[in-house]
Amino acid sequence: MEIKEIFSTPILEYEINSSLADKVEETILPKLKDLEFTGQNYTDFFSSPLVEYPEISDLINTIYSQACNFWKKIGFKESKNINYWIQDYKPTNYHEEHNHGIVNLSGTYWVRANQDAGNFVFRNPNPFISVSQNIINEPTDYNNEFYEISPKKGKFILFPSFIFHSVKPGGSNCIRTSLAFNFK
C-alpha cells in the first residue's frame, strides 16, 4: 500500500540564534509605545513602519535566506520585496482569522512571547474539513481543522499567503510581540 500526499500545505519553522533574537528585541521594545490600537491588538500596519530595515537587517536577511530555501522546495517564485509591521498583544488581545491573499509568502517572527501568549492558528485550507468532522474517527495531520503553533522568542514561521490564520486571545499575563511580514 502507498499513501500519496497530494495538495500538501507547507509551513516552515525556524529559530534564529539567541544573540540576534536579543538584539532584535532590544531594538523593537522601546518603539512599542508608538503602536496604534486596532481594537484587536497594537500595530504599525496602518502607519509608517516604526523599525527601519537597517535596524533589523540581520533578521530580515536570515528570514530571506530561509525563504529562498522554502521557495525552492515548494516551487514558488522568489521575491526580494518584503514589507513588515510590528504587532503587540496584551491580555485578551487577539487577531481574527484572515489571510494575506496571493502575495506569495507570509510570516511571523516572535520578538518575545511568554506562556500566556495566544497561539498562532492555521485553518486547514480544505474547505470541507470543517463540515466533515462527523466522519472522522481519530484526528490526524490529514483531517485536523486547525494547526496551532506556540509563539517563542527568536522563532519565525513562513507559509503561503493564502492560508487562513489567526491569533488566539492572550491570557491575563500575556506578553507577545511579533514582526509580521509578506513577500510580494
Per residue in 137-173, pLDDT tens?
A: 888 888 889 999 999 999 999 999 999 999 999 999 9
Alpha-carbon distances of 106 from 22, 27, 99, 168, 176, rounded to whole Å: 23, 22, 9, 18, 18
pLDDT in tens, 22-62: 999 999 999 999 999 999 999 999 999 999 999 999 999 99
Q: State the pLDDT at residue 178.
A: 98
Q: Could you tell me the domains of the chain?
A: 12-183 (2.60.120.620)
